[in-house]
């Protein structure tokens, strides 16, 4: 009797197995239709720690950017003394250029710069910034400030608290198709968006990229617009990396 029932048991087990497979495939199809199926990311990135040569390349993001020398950042009353201790020659150059004469008194430098914007101090910033960026002492001060940084992973919570950082779709809400091809198509020929487009295209072509770390600064007062941190270099590459779902690491300069 037992032997005669074996063929039926085999058939039953096969049908049971087939049913499980069909249910599994059906479940996967439902996940895909619902947009919740997990797909492995075809892209990856290695963030490269900066060296002196790269610090020199990034001088424009600090000494060449009037947003740094402002009442919201370096010249803010909460930040002034800390930043002055790191950039005394640079501050002196700005103050002297503002009044057109040499200054020896530290208090006078502070009285001139404190809670001021560059536009309050001079009307020829575009020319003066070139002088500032070529000044050897100022360059050394900024490079030494950069060297105070360290590598840190930047999670989503910190990204949301960092001015200038985040996904492209957060900055350009009209972009709906977030595939690499979709991003390239929607950016199109917009002249202001070509840097983003190139970063997407490079990821699409290379799959794995080695990129310099974005630079993030924290001042005692925090950042602008209620943020805790400020991205001061690497906006486009970090934006596209975040958009493609990659882990962000930064060169974090903490002056708080």
pLDDT in tens, 200-250: 999 999 999 999 999 999 999 998 989 999 999 999 999 999 999 999 999
Range list of H helices, 114-167: 118-121, 125-134, 136-146, 156-160
Lowest mean pLDDT across 16-30, 148-162, 188-202: 16-30
pLDDT for residue 40 is more than 50: yes
Please give, one letter per residue, the 3-state secondary structure of 164-227: CCCCHHHHCCCCCCCCHHHHHHHHCCCHHHHHHHHHHHHHHHHCEEEEECCEEEECCCCCHHHC
Q: What is the pTM of this model?
A: 0.80
* Separation of alpha carbons 162 and 179, rounded Å: 25
Answer whether residue 197 shows pLDDT above 90: yes
In the predicted model, what is the mean pLDDT of the chain? 88
Quickly count: other Cβ atoms within 10 Å of residue 142's Cβ.
25
């Amino acid at each position: 009797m037992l032997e005669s029932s074996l063929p039926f048991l085999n058939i039953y087990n096969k049908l049971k197995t087939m049913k499980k497979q069909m249910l599994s495939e059906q479940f996967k199809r439902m996940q895909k239709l619902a947009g919740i199926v997990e797909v492995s990311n075809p892209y990856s990135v290695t963030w490269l720690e900066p060296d002196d040569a790269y610090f020199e390349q990034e001088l424009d993001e600090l000494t060449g950017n009037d947003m740094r020398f402002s009442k919201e950042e370096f010249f803010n009353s909460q930040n002034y003394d800390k930043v002055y201790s790191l950039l005394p020659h640079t501050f002196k150059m700005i103050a002297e250029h503002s009044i057109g004469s040499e200054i020896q008194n530290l208090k006078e430098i502070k009285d001139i710069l404190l809670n001021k914007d560059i536009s309050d101090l001079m009307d020829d910033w575009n020319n003066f910034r070139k002088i500032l960026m070529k000044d050897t002492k100022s360059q050394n001060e900024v490079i030494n400030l950069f060297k105070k940084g360290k590598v840190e992973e930047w999670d989503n919570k910190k990204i949301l608290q960092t001015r200038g950082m985040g996904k492209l779709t957060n900055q350009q809400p009209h972009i709906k198709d977030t595939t690499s091809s979709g991003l390239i198509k929607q950016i199109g020929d917009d002249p202001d968006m070509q840097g983003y487009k190139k970063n997407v295209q490079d990821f699409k072509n290379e799959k794995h990229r080695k990129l310099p770390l974005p630079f993030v600064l924290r001042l005692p007062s925090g950042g602008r617009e209620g943020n805790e941190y400020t991205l001061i270099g690497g906006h486009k590459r970090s934006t596209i990396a975040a958009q493609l779902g990659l882990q962000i690491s930064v060169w974090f300069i903490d002056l708080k």
